[in-house]
Amino acid sequence: MQKINVQALIQMEEDFHIGTGMSDIGLYDDSQYKEHGHVSIPSSSFKGILRDSCRQIQTYMQEFGDPKAVLYRDIYDRIFKSYNDLNSLDIYIKPLSDNDAKETVIHYFTAIDSQKGKAQKGSLRSQEYGAKSLCFELRLTYYCENRYSEDITEYLKEALQNIKSLGGNRRRGFGALQIKDIQSSAIDIKSDPAVDVDAKNLRIMLRLDEDTLISAKGQSGNLQESNDYIAGSSILGMLRAKLLSQKINRNFLDDGVIRTSFFYPLPDSATSLSDIVVHPVYLSLRRRKDYLKGLDDARDIPLWAYEDNRSNLLKDIVVSNSINPLQKQECPSKGMNEGYMLRPSQTSSIDEISYFKVNKNLHQRNRISKRSQRTEHDGVFIESRVKKDTRFVGDLCFPDVETCKSFCEIFSAWLNGDEKFHIGRGGKPCTVVEWHSYSDSEKPTVAAQIDEEFTISFLSDVILFDDLLRPVTHFDEEILASLLSDAFSKDSFVLLNYSERSGIFSSFSGTSGLRKFRDLTLRKGSCYRFKVNSNLDKNLLAAELYDLEKSGIGISKHEGFGAVSINDPIHDLKTSDVDIDTAKPSPIKLCPQTQNREKSRLNRLSSIYIEADQLKKRLEESNKDQDTKKGWLSLASWILAIISENPTDQDFYETINDKITEKTDPNNQGNWGQNDFRLKLLTTITKYSKRTKSVEIALKNFLHEHGGHNG
């Protein structure tokens, strides 16, 4: 197996626009795509342009009878249709523009009335464009068998040379580019037999290299929502695709051999794997409603203008637990249906558990008609993707150390971060950031914790069937008893409280190209509190519950489904342990950015009005002669007319100074004398003001007080 690398430079020769569809309402459409504040080119957009270029080359070769036509058709199908190499074409684009260069320009457009030949009323629109002369570094990466690498490399290089423009309004001359300095290489992917592994389990941290749509939920309208976690079935598919593409016959990824967990996201604060534990927030936990974050005397200020100073510790956020009757707070609250809990270690106290949510970006996409090269009717849709650089952590478990070591040898290039895995819709690249092996740790037994009651919490989605093979949508005493030995029945327990959700889990087999059967699941985060009958053998119950926690429940456990936690201490947090004052929001103030902007704006306005007031007093002193009032008002109206054209301060004062120079020139017929009131007026303005706005305010106030027109 080889990795093909193709590198080149993209030199923009005309302004270009690649929109995000998420512009802010303002003076112009500011939807030009940017990364980290700099104009860039999205990989998905360039991949579409490259695919279209490949299609053009294929068409030309067929029309002209080129002997390479059949070969290039097969390569096109291999890369963009059949995915026979079980890999995705990765595209990386990095801006190389000078920091001092202007990256954007504004272009104005109008719609022309076909009958009058004039611009239609109200049709003027402005749009932000990336500036010409910008340069970008381009890198293509593709994995394939050695025998195909040379032909695929040449094919991709020809396709790059064929690209002449990108972005919108290409038919109007925008988006012209040149791709130059194309270089290529092919590297063999080799395993490392010296990899150091001394345990049978692996903990892996993955990082997304692009915004990614993961195991998409059902589409709602034109919105395609991404899951914020990676299911174990997706992890296995990701690994199996790499194994099959290398033509390696090993069974360590077969069902019944490997067992994977769900991969859950990590917050930015988590810097290392260490012993951290991440799992979904429990549905029974409730937090204070958002509207309570506002100050009592500032209810009209929107919530986004506030800085929330509360900590992210769970104990400072949670105000009640619906399955714990002893933990109730008399305040409006809402469920925490999304998000995750981070424990620094297996034995972390409740005071150390933090809460976080996953960041997502919205991407507007459109389906292009091959015939018209325009967006199809109803072809616009939006994808909500997990943000680039988001990290996920999960476990791979093998039956023994030798099997684990064999896996690490084959996948050493990927585990070391040298090569990319692919995940999500479109096979987006992701990288292993960190990994380590570990042995099975003996968890503390729950026997001592089971008294009159116990709790069960779902750490992942659970797939269960009843005796009639119907999907279970509610976990109750009968279902629990069916998971235990014959020593227990549905009458052995009483379900006191619960908080649960159910839903459909869909998946797709990238290897076979077939959609899998849907499963109806009990969602992660669901939790239950049971009461134990007094005549039960609690030691036996504790041992069997511990086995459930260790092995999981339901089917597809090897794909991460069915993970549960018994007697999580969060559910036993008593009211006395919750400091109500601490749980309340700390004093809230405006965000620093809002404060700074508002302070700067008010200071600027204050200085303008102070300057205008001082200028008005000077103007009154220079206008004591009533005989000159009519001419004075005429000159003031002329100045206001200049200001109405919105000149810059520099242009305004240059105009006034030019007028003074013209009228004081002794050779100029009709010049003003040194005591002329008009000269005094203009000189006063240039001497006692620095801002056009101050002059405008001073003149309008003066005209208003002296009976002149101040419009």
pLDDT digits (tens, 9 = 90+) for 370-406: 676 677 777 777 888 899 999 999 999 999 999 999 9
pLDDT at 98: 63
Whole-number Å distance between alpha carbons of 235 and 202: 13
216 confidence band (pLDDT: 50, 70, 90): low
**Eight-state DSSP code of residue 281:** P
pLDDT at 202: 92
The pair of structure tokens assigned to 197 is 């592994």
Whether residue 246 is predicted with pLDDT greater than 90 in this model: the reply is no
Whole-number Å distance between alpha carbons of 431 and 421: 6
Percent with pLDDT over 90 in the chain: 25
Whether residue 711 is predicted with pLDDT greater than 50 in this model: the reply is no
Whether residue 194 is predicted with pLDDT greater than 80 in this model: the reply is no
pLDDT at 306: 55
pLDDT at 446: 44
pLDDT in tens, 461-476: 999 998 888 999 999 9
pTM > 0.95: yes or no: no
Whole-number Å distance between alpha carbons of 98 and 335: 49
- Lowest mean pLDDT, pick from 37-51, 116-130, 683-697: 116-130
From 506, 518, 522, select the one nearest 473 (Cα to Cα). 522
The DSSP string of 477-521 is HHHHHHHS-TT--GGGEEEEEEE--EEEE--EETTTTEEPPPEEE
pLDDT at 631: 64
- Lowest mean pLDDT, pick from 146-160, 194-208, 289-303, 642-656: 289-303
The pair of structure tokens assigned to 430 is 């992701």
Return the bridge partners of 360, or none.
386
The SS3 assignment for 309 reads coil
Whether residue 347 is predicted with pLDDT greater than 60 in this model: the reply is yes
Whether residue 444 is predicted with pLDDT greater than 50 in this model: the reply is no
In this structure, what are the phi and psi dihedrals at residue 622, rounded to the nearest 5 degrees? -85, 0
pLDDT in tens, 251-277: 888 888 999 999 999 998 887 777 788
Most confident by average pLDDT, 21-25, 27-31, 472-476, 589-593: 472-476
Residue showing tokens 């457009």: 109
Q: Using only the alpha carbons of the chain, give its radius of gyration.
A: 35
Residue showing tokens 């409740």: 350
From 340, 16, 384, 37, select the one nearest 212 (Cα to Cα). 384
Whether residue 443 is predicted with pLDDT greater than 50 in this model: the reply is no
153 confidence band (pLDDT: 50, 70, 90): very high
182 confidence band (pLDDT: 50, 70, 90): very high
pLDDT at 265: 94
pLDDT in tens, 285-327: 888 765 555 444 445 555 555 555 567 888 778 878 888 876 5
pLDDT at 97: 66
pLDDT at 303: 54
- Lowest mean pLDDT, pick from 19-28, 190-199, 393-402, 663-672: 19-28
57 touches 164 (CB < 8 A): no
C-alpha distances (whole Å) from 705 to each of 441, 625, 636 are: 86, 16, 14
Whether residue 20 is predicted with pLDDT greater than 90 in this model: the reply is no
Most confident by average pLDDT, 124-133, 324-333, 390-399: 390-399
Whole-number Å distance between alpha carbons of 483 and 544: 9
Whole-number Å distance between alpha carbons of 279 and 449: 21
Strand 259-260 to 391-397 pairing: antiparallel
355 touches 173 (CB < 8 A): no
Round to the nearest angstrom and report the end-to-end CA distance of the chain.
77
**Eight-state DSSP code of residue 552:** -
Whether residue 137 is predicted with pLDDT greater than 90 in this model: the reply is yes
- Provide mean pLDDT across the span 564-584: 63
Whole-number Å distance between alpha carbons of 210 and 44: 10
C-alpha distances (whole Å) from 146 to each of 80, 142, 157, 326 are: 19, 12, 18, 66
Most confident by average pLDDT, 147-161, 331-345, 600-614: 147-161
Return the higher-pLDDT residue of 19 and 28: 19
123 confidence band (pLDDT: 50, 70, 90): confident
pLDDT at 181: 92
Length of the chain: 711
The pair of structure tokens assigned to 605 is 């306005």
pLDDT at 169: 85
199 touches 404 (CB < 8 A): yes
Contacts of residue 152, defined as CB under 8 A and 6 or more positions apart, other chains included, come to 4, 75, 78, 79, 142, 144
- Provide mean pLDDT across the span 31-50: 86
500 confidence band (pLDDT: 50, 70, 90): very high
Whether residue 12 is predicted with pLDDT greater than 70 in this model: the reply is yes
Whether residue 63 is predicted with pLDDT greater than 70 in this model: the reply is yes
709 confidence band (pLDDT: 50, 70, 90): very low
Whether residue 710 is predicted with pLDDT greater than 50 in this model: the reply is no
Contacts of residue 140, defined as CB under 8 A and 6 or more positions apart, other chains included, come to 4, 5, 6, 7, 50, 89, 90, 91, 156, 160
- Provide mean pLDDT across the span 91-97: 86
The DSSP string of 582-597 is HHSPPP-EE-HHHHHH
Return the bridge partners of 454, or none.
530
- Provide mean pLDDT across the span 229-257: 87
- Provide mean pLDDT across the span 550-573: 88
Q: What is the mean pLDDT of the chain?
A: 81
pLDDT in tens, 64-90: 888 888 888 888 888 887 767 778 888
CA 194 to chain centre: 38
- Provide mean pLDDT across the span 416-441: 87
Neighbours of 108 (CB within 10 A): 9
